[in-house]
Amino acid sequence: MRTNEDLLASLTADTTLAGRTALVTGSSGGIGEAVARVLASSGAEVVVSGRDAARAQGVAQAIVEAGGRAHALTADLDAEPADVRAFAQRAEDVLGGSVDILVNNAGVYPGSFTETVTDDEMQTLWATNIRAPHVLVATLAPRMAGRGSGAIVNIGSWMARVGVPYKALYPATKAAVEQLTRAWAAEYGARGVRVNTVAPGATATRGNATRSDQLAEMAKGTPAGAPVRPVDVAYAVRFLASDEAAFIHGATLDVDGGIAATRLR
């Protein structure tokens, strides 16, 4: 099986998203980086965002060197709502005045035993995983609706629909994202804005590098038999953002190797 890095390095340019602009939160690495690079390879002009300016700029530079168009912005998505709204405005400004595709990818997953979760961890989970996507959609979706078109793709998790010991709050935030997706699809769909979720499984990102053995064990009993690659999630995001998904509203697309739907062992 080809590696994530090899697939990203050999992306073929196409015009699936030509003429469109995209904001991908949390795209300075991992799943978000793959999404930004795949969208750009299909012709979208992309805002790469993250807390680390150097990392975000590095991803944007890789896109430009591959022939795409990208801008880097720093963003702290657990900041106050006014700051998140200002970030949305900055993204619109660098993209020429509008965001056609919003990918709510940024997320945090601290916490272990319920009784050991700190107040700061609870606040960060709520602010980053739920409040920030809500603020961004509340800011950008009405503007998309005013233009009569737009696509929003939220990144969920396979854990949103199963009980996982020692990890109660993170899956709860992702379950909330799935419900927000359905509600936003109902709210904005008739005005041309499609809203969907992609739910990754156990994904082999750089952030999970120290857990590679655990990820492999989790994936061993799935039909795919291996952890998800970030680029696999990115392909699904591109599909849902494209005209090929014109009749898909309020859906959750599992890109998890079958971990949520099957138990082979």
**What is d(CA 51, CA 134) in angstroms, rounded to the nearest whole number?**
19
Instruction: From 224, 217, 229, select the one nearest 258 (Cα to Cα).
Output: 224
Provide the residue type at 4 as one letter. N
SS3 4: helix
Alpha carbon distance 109, 111 (integer Å): 7
Q: Token pair for residue 227?
A: 């952890």
> Please, which contacts does 76-84 make with residues 24 or more away whose CB atoms are closer than 8 Å?
76/51, 77/25, 77/26, 77/106, 77/127, 77/128, 77/132, 78/108, 78/123, 78/124, 78/127, 78/128, 78/131, 78/132, 79/127, 81/131, 81/135, 84/131, 84/132, 84/135, 84/136, 84/139
User: Scanning the structure block, which residue is given the tokens 């793959």?
Assistant: 34
152's enclosing H/E stretch is strand 150-155
Q: Which DSSP string do the residues of 173-227 spell out, in sequence order?
A: HHHHHHHHHHHHHHHHGGGTEEEEEEEE-SB--GGGGGGHHHHHHHHHTSSS-SP
Q: 188 an active-site residue?
A: no
Question: Which candidate in 109, 166, 170, 235 is catalytic?
Answer: 170
Question: Which position has the token pair 């801008």?
Answer: 71
For residue 55, the tally of other CB atoms under 10 A from its CB is 17
Q: Are 253 and 198 in contact (CB under 8 A)?
A: yes
Q: What positions carry a catalytic annotation?
A: 170
